[in-house]
């Protein structure tokens, strides 16, 4: 097994350093190694006590936010904001590959901003980013610290008094169609697609993989996905540990 593992890592390293248009697609499993819980696993957020009468999935919906912003923010601040989290080796290796002109796009389903903190610039946060916030009435933008440090239970705009909301995609809301279309374009042009830390059970992540027509489709995940038959290479493991082993 150890010999097979080393061979997989060597092959992966060769693929990565020879890629000219690598697209990465990552899910919650990329951030768990930074101490951020995922959503749907046995220990994930949706299987934890929300601390409220409502489930976490209910609280994180557009209609609930509009009706009960106080409950939303109690849950959001307590469960989803992880400013103390630091990029792990998955984020760092991808940033290094981008700096060396191997990466054309990083697509993340996470809202934690860790790819940007690691130094990546070519990032599409398709579910938004907790570091971006705005007033729903006048659109004034606010940094995360304003949300964290406000004394009010519901952050309010200091210009118009409107409710401030995080620039993240809630349930019942659509994703940015222009962002997705450009992601699809770059996936279709990629020579390598690296998928990690995601079960690929939920769209649009699952659908995005189907646009890849390049040479190397690599899955790095702890568990099997419903699209493993599409992959040209599968490595079982934590993505941070796997990418760290490449030495990149």
The pLDDT of residue 43 is 63
Average pLDDT rounded to a whole number, residues 141-167: 96
* Rounded Cα distance, 31 and 115, in Å: 10
Average pLDDT rounded to a whole number, residues 106-120: 97
Quickly tell me which residue has 């002109």 as its tokens.
101
Q: What is the mean pLDDT of the chain?
A: 93
Cβ–Cβ under 8 Å, residues 246 and 13: yes
Q: Is 127 a catalytic residue?
A: yes
- Per-residue confidence at 1, pLDDT binned at 50, 70, 90? low
What phi-psi label fits residue 55: left (phi over 0), alpha (psi between -120 and 50 degrees) or beta? beta
Quickly tell me which residue has 């749907």 as its tokens.
40
- Global pTM value: 0.94
| Selection from 204, 49, 16, 218 nearest residue 127 by Cα | 204
Out of 91, 102, 115, 127, pick the active-site residue: 127
Average pLDDT rounded to a whole number, residues 235-245: 95
Q: What angle do CA 66, 71, 77 make, to 5 degrees?
A: 105
């Amino acid at each position: 097994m150890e010999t097979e593992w080393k061979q997989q890592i060597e092959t992966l390293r060769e693929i990565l350093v020879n890629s000219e248009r690598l697209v990465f697609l990552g899910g919650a499993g990329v951030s768990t190694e930074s101490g951020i819980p995922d959503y749907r696993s046995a220990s994930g957020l949706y299987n934890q006590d929300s601390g409220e009468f409502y489930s976490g999935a209910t609280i994180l919906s557009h209609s609930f936010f509009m009706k009960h912003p106080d409950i939303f923010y109690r849950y959001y601040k307590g469960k989803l904001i992880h400013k103390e989290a630091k990029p792990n080796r998955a984020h760092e290796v991808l940033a290094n590959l981008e700096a060396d002109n191997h990466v054309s796009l990083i697509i993340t389903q996470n809202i934690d901003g860790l790819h940007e903190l690691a130094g990546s610039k070519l990032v599409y946060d398709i579910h938004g980013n907790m570091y971006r916030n705005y007033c729903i009435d006048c659109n004034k933008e606010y940094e995360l610290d304003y949300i964290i440090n406000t004394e009010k239970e519901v952050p309010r705009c200091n210009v118009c008094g409107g409710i401030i909301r995080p620039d993240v995609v809630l349930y019942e809301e659509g994703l940015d169609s222009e962002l997705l279309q450009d992601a699809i374009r770059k996936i279709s042009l990629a020579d390598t697609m690296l998928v990690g830390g995601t079960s690929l059970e939920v769209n649009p992540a699952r659908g995005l993989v189907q646009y890849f027509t390049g040479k190397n489709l690599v899955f790095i995940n702890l568990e099997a996905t419903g699209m493993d038959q599409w992959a040209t290479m599968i490595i079982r493991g934590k993505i941070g540990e796997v990418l760290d082993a490449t030495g990149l």
